[in-house]
Amino acid sequence: MPSPILPISNFPSSTTSAATTVVKAKVDADPSKTLLISSQLDPEKAIKPLLPRASSYNSTTNVNNSIISFSNNHQQRSRRISSDSSLALLSDQSPRRSISREVGHAASETFLLSRLCVKLLSYLGVGYRWITRFLALGCYALLLMPGFIQVAYYYFFSRQVRRSIIYGEKPRNRLDLYLPESSHGTKPVVAFITGGAWIIGYKAWGSLLGQQLSERDIIVACIDYRNFPQGTISDMVEDASQGISFVCNNIAEYGGDPNRIYLMGQSAGAHIAACTLINQAIKEAGEGDSTSWSVSQIKAYFGLSGGYNLFNLIDHFHNRGLYRSIFLSIMEGEDSLHQFSPDVLVQDSNVKPAVSLLPPVILFHGTADFSIPADASTSFADTLRRVGGKAESILYDGKTHTDLFLQDPMRGGRDEMFEDVVAIIHGGDEEALAKDAVAPPRRRLVPEFMLKLAHNVSPF
């Protein structure tokens, strides 16, 4: 049974809503083990970004106007072209899809990845921290390979997966859709932004989550975005915004309910999704902008193992192999850290009107997360409460950065965090909750001894 948490429908409507922290633990958690890394920013000069900063998607203050009509004809035409192209791709997603198209797309992706890897290596240079992390990552992936193979088979051969639907005109503006087998009624939707240290993120990383949620009658859209050095944080936020826009405006064509859309991000993806949501709220709180989606269309935001105060994390990342110069290049320099630190940005008095527009925020984190300390989530939830937002943080005792997202789902049986997410999405739907109660436990994908070894060698 999912652990009791604060239902979204019960969040107070006033701006004095309290933030709640729920600790998921089988034994008493030791507060002394909680990590909080806080340090002063090193004034080391950042590497100049490879790409110029891109402007974000425009927005309005009224969701009804954004759905019914758009003042900008160019935006209207671009969205129509994107939608038509995506529907054409949808029809090609059957097993009869052209092999030559698959091979051509794989070849172009491989070439792009190889070229970007060479550029990235030129940034990294020779450093023992990232080299040891890379070797640990290889061992980690090898131990989880039995699970990865099964998930990859599902990803490439399942009729329920619609791969590489185009949502924009920029490189990597594609998303994957995971559709439930049942076509009865409209389905709730999760728009998911994958993690990957802003460098190795890819839409297929969400395939395990997509498979799990689609089995519970939930549509999942895994949104791809430009990584560094192909793009910087502004590009990532712009891509995420366009992907969310596509989901909000087109998901009904795939059986999704446009009134039940949830935004979710993991690790770096949680940071990107939070920046995107707050940026959109800021624009909607202003005047004269136009948009193709609104924060009012998002029922709730789920942040999984995310970092929301970059000032507190920059030295921590440096010590773990994501060097300060590279990190500042990703974030477009030291002066941009405030803009892309959600925990800091919402405390700005000029941003306060936007905070009231934000949907409920639920942050999940493991207490044994060494990549991004759990205090990153609890602090952000507390900050949102102080400035009038609706927030809740849920901690899982002894869970690492990857336990919640990979090892636990591959273990099979009942996944605590997964059940909590589903309980929120299906809250108020008695029929769906009844089906969840009798849903069979998931089968194991990886032997337990390999999962324990992966837990120990994980570089995250």
User: Which residues lie closer than 8 Å to 440 by C-beta, 6 or more apart?
Assistant: none
360-387 per-position pLDDT tens digit: 999 999 999 999 999 999 999 999 999 9
Kindly report which listed range (33-47, 214-228, 244-258) carries the lowest average pLDDT score.
33-47
| Among the listed residues 460, 396, 364, 371, the one whose alpha carbon sits nearest the alpha carbon of residue 141 | 460
Given the structure tokens 């600790």, which residue do they identify?
A: 23
Which residue(s) pair with 392 in the sheet?
20, 362
Rg, Å, the chain Cα set: 21
pLDDT, position 141: 87
Confidence of residue 4 (pLDDT cuts 50, 70, 90): very low
201-213 per-position pLDDT tens digit: 999 999 999 999 9
Mean pLDDT of 1-26: 46
pLDDT, position 273: 98
Q: Does the pTM of the predicted model rise above 0.95?
A: no
pLDDT, position 1: 47
**Helix, strand or coil, per DSSP, at residue 353:** helix
| Among the listed residues 277, 130, 280, the one whose alpha carbon sits nearest the alpha carbon of residue 199 | 130
pLDDT, position 347: 95
Q: What is the DSSP letter of 304?
A: E
Q: Catalytic residue numbers? A: 267, 369, 401
Cα gap 330→197, rounded to integer Å: 10
Q: How far does Cα 359 stand from its chain's mean position?
A: 16
184-195 per-position pLDDT tens digit: 889 999 999 999
| Among the listed residues 379, 306, 381, 388, the one whose alpha carbon sits nearest the alpha carbon of residue 355 | 388
pLDDT, position 310: 96
Q: What is the overall mean pLDDT for the chain?
A: 79
